[in-house]
A and B are shown apart, each in its own frame.
Chain A
Amino acid sequence: MTNPVSVSPANVNLVGLSRSDYRGAASTLCQGCGHNGIASQIVAALYEMNLIPENVVKFSGIGCSSKSPTYFLSRSFGFNGLHGRMPSLALGALAADTSLKGIGVSGDGDSASIGMGQFKHIIRRNVPMVYIVENNGVYGLTKGQFSATAEKGLTLKKQGVNQFLPVDICAEALVANATFVARSFAGDPRQLKELLKAAISHHGIAILDVISPCVTFHNQDNSIHSYTFGKEHEIPLHELSYVPAREDITVEDYEEGAPREVTLHDGSTIVLKKLDKDHDPTNRLQAAMVLEEARRKNELITGLIYINPDEPSFFDGYGLVEEPLNRLDDSRLRPGREALDQLNAMFM
């Protein structure tokens, strides 16, 4: 993937794959569902990053969101687990080969209700994977119940008025000590793609809360989970670009003041160009304040809210052999006879 740019067919990337090599099966979600847009951006991000699909593993829980891993990367292994319990499944599977990139897709029902425990604990462990919450504030697959991220006062056809304050995915991630917290909007594909690339490069858990409107059960213009609201009120924290390792950053592009740069574990860089706010995503306190301010003003802020690229990831702490565990041959898995003799002597 570090080939110098040479003459290659226009429709393939540096690893010789075309966009269609990254596609999945046809979506069975509703037309216009935000989740389909997210799947498209995953395809685009991985194609542009020149990752081979066999190096990616997909995971999901249960719900509309969790169906979507079949709509991208057919050539990647995937496992659709149980409701709210994608994180544990991913942790175990990624242990088998830590060189693989894990992409988990969950929803607000899957992560903010039944899966809140596993959501919090995979963050706490900093398991290296991308964790996308496709957040629409509603249960789609069971036809329109409030989710825990629905705002207070929201009215839904059969449910009446929501009485409870919403769970903020990003705030929950931040207090759980996530090392990468971002929010995006399915209607802002450019930003989403750049954030996805950064998340994939991050060495640790990358939480991506993506507002992904449900066009069938909940797309009310005044709600934070709708296309209209997002299009009209999205407030990006910065203009964000992902620069792969070994590509020069062309600072001249950013005329309005020096951009912030965050270098990731794999040498790639996130370049953040200042907009209205001057948000420093490496400052955890500022990240918390940005979220609190957005909550108070009912604003849809998007972008990279917090990042700490230097924390060790979960597997770093286990002192594992270099090669994938699932490729070790028997001679390295079964201790010898002398070890058993020694044990038998110990228990005499």
Chain B
Amino acid sequence: MSDESPSHAIGAGVQAGPVVNDFCITISTVNGSGSATANNLLLRALFRMGIPVSGKNIFPSNIQGLPTWYTIRLSKDGYLARLEKDDIVVAMNPASFSREMDFILPGGVLFYADDIKQEITRTDIIAYPMPVKKLIKDADVAPNMRDYIANMVYVGVVGQMLGISLDELYAALDFHFKGKKKAIDSNFNVIKAAADWAAANLEKKDPYRVERMTGMTDDCIMADGNTSAALGALFGGLQFSGWYPITPATSLAESLNEYLPMLRKDPQTGKYTCIVVQSEDELAAIGMTIGAGWAGLRSMTSTSGPGLSLMSEYLGLAYYAEVPCVVWDVQRVGPSTGLPTRTQQGDLTQVYFNGHGDTQFVMLIPGSVNECFEFGWRALDVAERVQTPVIVMSDLDLGMNQWMTKKFDYPDRPLDRGKILWEEDIDALVKENKDWGRYLDVDGDGIPYRTVAGNKHPRSAYFARGTGHDEYGKYSEEPEVWERVLDRIARKIQNSTAYLPAPVLTSDGKSEIGIIVSGSAEPAVMEARDQLKHKGVATDVLRIRSIPFHDEVKDFLRDHQRVYVVELNRDGQMGQLLTINYPEYATRLFKVAHTDGLALTAKWVRETIEAREEKVS
């Protein structure tokens, strides 16, 4: 029984009956022990039983040896946000054993490896030992595989005690090992032996169990945001990606490599239509990406805070020289090296102003794994349409964790290549307009027409530069030319909202309380909204999906007396951007922001809003 889900959150007290499909399991292991496979098996088996689940990996910046936790939340109501406490803890790591005790709710459960000879200090929980060493000894596995296979013991024991179907665990193994029979069977044999041992030796004393459900996971898949972003980009016609390894963005670029053979081998020739280059650093990653974007390739890089800082200068050039490119910023905790393996929405203001001089960057903020896929292709469209860098603000929680999400939708429109001129187009444009210049605002929307290298028309070429230039790309230091070009670019960026994803409003009619949220903070906010509603407090939620802001954002501020801006950072960065854009409504904004490396919880969001609302009433 989760302390925060709406059915129990409000003074529910100790639950007498069974708790079905609505609790939280945390598995505590040693980093590098191979537990990821076991944890994903449990997650996927539950998902296959039709139960809404989310999995979060809380891991150290370390390859082997430090404690790591994996949390699986089951929620029959479909809530995916993090919970603060656990109903069930599986303790495999002696080093963190005493700490685990603090996180178990009264009446909760502790599964522990029975070779951990430490005192169980809680009397209000139910403890089940697991003879991990013995079961592994009995199993016929190679010595070097024992530590890894040991994790299958808790899969079997926990599965048996909760009622997770062995068939579904087998199917999850089949998924994980891509049908490799030998690997599937050796793991399954241990799971089965552990389940049999539990059935024979453990007496069920706790109320938690799982049951098959229907209707909540229809049309859903399990995926992480980084893989989904990569797939989206490959469906968006990505042609070039320069990248440099950095946690938590690495798996995005690695996914490009993984899926290139399946998705981007030319069916006619078997040759590739996309090139992925691991660069020497982020300075080069963005340089390559901008070079490719300038020359007419759908171009992208992926990084995180420290890398983004290194990319600032080149992004400024791309802003001013009007070069399309996409940057995925999978945010982690800053400043500095910060907490590299923890999550934050801490780069919003940096990206907004990224660079010296007057700049403003177009930002997309996906709020789900499904949207990571969608923005994967859409960002490339926007970049080429608006001829500017587009920064997609993902984060570690979204990017690296497994989420239940709607199936990927096939792009609902053709590729938008923007205003690009090939040989015959130049003749047509010159005929119609009597002129062509790289930075001429022909259509009055601030977006000029561009040519790219390889165009053989004798008038196609121009010299791109970060120095002052006029409408024909010629070097200029003329005061009025400088101001005119900069002003047009500002207008272009403002006009770009026509091509950006609009905010999403959730409302049951009009409340005077508004909540603004973006990105991966949404699940906690939507759950908190339900909890508030349950207590008779109605709220409207607006999820921002892009910057510059759509007019709907201003309307939302106008229509609500108090607007809580919920975000995962210290300073309330989204609130700061709203204040800059809408100073007339600044006094309506309330910061609901904090950062400790972990994802927001509904409980914290609800309590913070409640505390403020009490002051109002």
Q: Chain A residues in contact with chain B, CB under 8 A? A: 52-55, 57-58, 69-70, 74-82, 85, 87-97, 99-100, 117-118, 121, 315, 318-322, 324-328, 330, 332-335, 337, 339-340, 343-344, 347-348
B 211-237 binary contact with A (CB < 8 Å = 1; else 0): 000000000011100000001001111
> Is B63 positioned at the interface, with any CB of A under 8 Å from its CB?
no
- Cβ–Cβ contact B411 & A334, under 8 A: yes
Q: Which of A70, A99, A118, A340 makes the CB contact (< 8 A) with B463? A: A70
Other contacts beyond A54-B460, A321-B269, A326-B453: 18, CB < 8 A? A74-B461, A77-B295, A79-B291, A80-B464, A81-B290, A85-B284, A88-B284, A91-B277, A92-B293, A92-B297, A93-B294, A93-B453, A118-B284, A118-B287, A319-B271, A321-B271, A321-B272, A330-B414
Q: Is the CB of A332 within 8 A of B266?
A: yes
Instruction: Compute how far the CA of A68 lies from the CA of B9 in the bound complex, rounded to whole angstroms.
Output: 70
Q: Determine how close the nearest CB of chain A comes to the CB of B325; give it in whole angstroms.
A: 9
B413 vs chain A, min Cβ distance (A): 11
Q: Would A53 and B461 count as touching, CB distance under 8 A? A: yes
Q: Which residue of B lies closest to A326 (CB)?
A: B296
* Interface membership of B408, Cβ < 8 A: yes
Is B296 in contact with A118, judged by CB distance below 8 angstroms?
Answer: no
Instruction: Specify which of B221, B451, B464 is in contact with A344 (CB 8 Å cutoff).
Output: B221
* Chain B hits for A92, CB < 8 A: 240, 242, 287-295, 297, 299
Closest CB of chain B to A275's CB: distance in Å? Answer: 38
User: B221: nearest residue on chain A (CB-CB)?
Assistant: A347
Q: Is the CB of A54 within 8 A of B456?
A: yes
Residues of A within 8 A of B242 (CB): 88, 91-92
Q: Are A335 and B234 CB-contacts (below 8 A) given A92-B287, A320-B271, A344-B408?
A: yes
The distance in angstroms between the C-alpha atoms of A70 and B415, with both chains bound, is 34
Assembly CA distance A199 to B289 (angstroms): 26
A333-B415 in contact (CB<8A): yes
Q: Are B291 and A88 in contact (CB under 8 A)?
A: yes
- Residues of the B chain whose Cβ atoms lie less than 8 Å from the Cβ of A100: 453-454
Chain A: minimal CB distance from B544 (Å): 27
- Measured between beta carbons, the chain B residues less than 8 angstroms from A69 are 463
A121 in contact with B284 given A92-B289, A100-B454, A325-B239 (CB within 8 Å): yes
* Measured CA separation A321–B265 after assembly (Å): 9
Cβ distance A53 to chain B, nearest Cβ, rounded Å: 7
Chain A residues within an 8 Å CB radius of B273: 320-321, 325, 328, 332-333
Query: Closest CB of chain B to A30's CB: distance in Å?
Result: 17
The verdict on B465 contacting chain A, using a C-beta distance below 8 Å, is: yes
A-B contact pairs, 5 of them (CB 8 A): A52-B456, A117-B283, A325-B239, A330-B414, A332-B273
Contacting residues, chain A, for B277 (C-beta < 8 A):
91
Whose C-beta in chain B lies nearest to the C-beta of A53?
Answer: B461
Say yes or no: A80 contacts B467, CB within 8 Å.
Answer: yes
Is B349 part of the binding interface, using a Cβ–Cβ cutoff of 8 Å? no
Closest 8 CB pairs of A and B: A92-B291, A88-B287, A333-B237, A96-B295, A326-B296, A92-B292, A347-B221, A92-B288
A96 contacts B317, CB within 8 Å? no
Task: Note all chain B residues with C-beta closer than 8 A to A88.
Answer: 242, 279, 283-288, 291
**Minimal Cβ-Cβ distance residue in B for A345:** B221
With both chains docked as a complex, state the minimum distance between the C-beta of B500 and any C-beta of chain A, in angstroms. 21
Chain B minimum-CB-distance residue to A90: B291
**A130 to B284 alpha-carbon distance, docked (Å):** 18
Q: A321-B269, A335-B235 are in contact. Are A96 and B287 (CB under 8 A)?
A: no
Q: Say yes or no: A348 contacts B221, CB within 8 Å.
A: yes
Closest to B240 in A: A95
Contact of B314 among A85, A99, A337 (CB under 8 A): A85
B264 lies within 8 A of chain A by Cβ: yes
Residue of A whose beta carbon sits closest to that of B286: A88
Report the separation of the CA atoms of residues A80 and B317 in the bound assembly, to the nearest whole angstrom. Answer: 10
B171: nearest residue on chain A (CB-CB)?
Answer: A348
Q: How far does the alpha carbon of A58 sit from the alpha carbon of B463 in the complex, in Å?
A: 9
Is B262's CB within 8 Å of the partner chain A? yes
Those of B92-145 within 8 Å (CB) of chain A: none
The distance in angstroms between the C-alpha atoms of A324 and B240, with both chains bound, is 13
Quick one: which of A55, A81, A96, A121 has the most chain B CB within 10 A?
A96
Residues of A close to B467: CB separation below 8 A: 80
Which of A89, A92, A97, A334 gathers most chain B CB within 10 Å?
A: A92
Which chain B residues in 243-297 approach chain A with CB under 8 Å?
A: 262-264, 266, 269, 271-275, 277, 279-281, 283-297
Cβ of A348: which chain B residues have Cβ within 8 Å of it? 48, 221-222
Cβ-defined partner of A337 (8 Å) among B231, B410, B463: B410
Q: Tell me which residues across on chain B come within 8 A of A70, comparing CB atoms.
A: 463, 475
> Are A78 and B464 neighbours in the complex by a CB distance under 8 Å?
yes
Which B residues touch A325, using CB under 8 A?
239-240, 273-275, 297
- Could you tell me if B271 and A117 are in contact, using CB atoms closer than 8 angstroms? no
Beyond A77-B462, A327-B454, A334-B415, is A347–B237 a contact (Cβ under 8 Å)? no
B407 within 8 A of A: yes
Complex interface: chain B residues within 8 A of A85 (CB):
283-284, 287, 314
* Complex CA distance for A64 and B469, rounded to whole angstroms: 18
Specify which of B279, B281, B299, B454 lies most central, judged by the most chain A CB atoms within 10 Å of its CB: B454
Judge whether A82 and B313 touch: CB under 8 Å: yes
**Cβ–Cβ < 8 Å partners of B287 in chain A:** 81-82, 85, 87-89, 91-92, 118
Name the one of B281, B457, B466 contacting A117, with C-beta atoms under 8 angstroms.
B281
B122 to chain A, nearest CB (A): 38
Complex Cα gap A96–B549 (Å): 33
Q: Are A91 and B221 in contact (CB under 8 A)?
A: no
With both beta carbons as reference points, the residue of chain B lying nearest to A120 in the complex is identified as: B280
Nearest A-chain residue to B422, judged by Cβ: A327
A57 adjacent to B453 (CB under 8 Å): yes
Please indicate the chain A residues that have their CB under 8 angstroms from the CB of B479 in the complex: none
Given known A-B contacts A54-B455, A332-B266, A93 and B291 have beta carbons under 8 A apart = yes
Q: How far is the CB of B480 from chain A (nearest CB, A)?
A: 21
Residue in A76, A93, A321, A333 whose beta carbon sits within 8 Å of that of B292 in the complex: A93
B108 to chain A: closest CB distance in Å?
31
**CB within 8 Å for A77 and B461 given contacts A92-B288, A326-B454, A343-B408:** yes
A79 and B294: CB pair below 8 A? yes
- Report B280 CB to chain A, min CB distance, Å: 4
Q: How far is the CB of B378 from chain A (nearest CB, A)?
A: 13
Q: Which residues from chain A contact B452 at a C-beta distance below 8 Å? A: 77, 96, 326
Q: Is B17 an interface residue (CB 8 A)?
A: no
In the complex, are the beta carbons of B462 and A121 less than 8 A apart? no
The residue in chain B whose Cβ has the minimal distance to the Cβ of A337 is B410
A92 to B457, CA, bound (A): 22
Specify the chain A residue showing the minimal Cβ separation from B407: A344
Q: Find out whether the CB atom of B295 lies under 8 angstroms from the CB atom of A326.
A: yes
Write out the residue numbers on chain B whose beta carbons fall within 8 Å of the beta carbon of A96.
239-240, 292, 295-297, 452-454
Contact of A339 among B263, B292, B317, B462 (CB under 8 A): B263
Do residues A118 and B465 form an inter-chain contact, with CB atoms below 8 A?
no
| B280 engages A117 (CB within 8 Å) | yes
Q: Which of B317, B454, B475 contacts A82 (CB 8 A)?
A: B317
User: What residues of chain A lie closer than 8 Å to B295, measured between beta carbons?
Assistant: 57, 77, 92-97, 326
Report B613 CB to chain A, min CB distance, Å.
40
- A340/B410 in contact, CB under 8 A: yes
Give complex CA distance A248, B410 in Å. 58
Q: Is the CB of B272 within 8 A of A118?
A: no
Contact of A322 among B271, B294, B297 (CB under 8 A): B271
Given A80-B463, A82-B313, A95-B240, decide whether A335 and B293 contact each other with a Cβ distance below 8 A: no
> Quick check: B463 and A78 within 8 Å, CB to CB?
yes
B458 within 8 A of A: yes
Q: How far is the CA of A328 from the CA of B275 in the complex (A)?
A: 14
Q: Is the CB of B408 within 8 A of A75?
A: no
Docked-complex contact B264 and A335, CB < 8 angstroms? yes
Contacts of A332 in B (CB 8 A): 266, 273
Residues of A within 8 A of B594 (CB): none
**B-side contacts of A117, CB under 8 Å:** 280-281, 283-284
Complex-state Cα separation, A315 to B274, whole angstroms:
12
Partner of A91, one of B223, B288, B408, B461: B288
Q: Which residues of chain B from 311 to 334 have a CB within 8 Å of any chain A CB?
A: 313-314, 317, 321
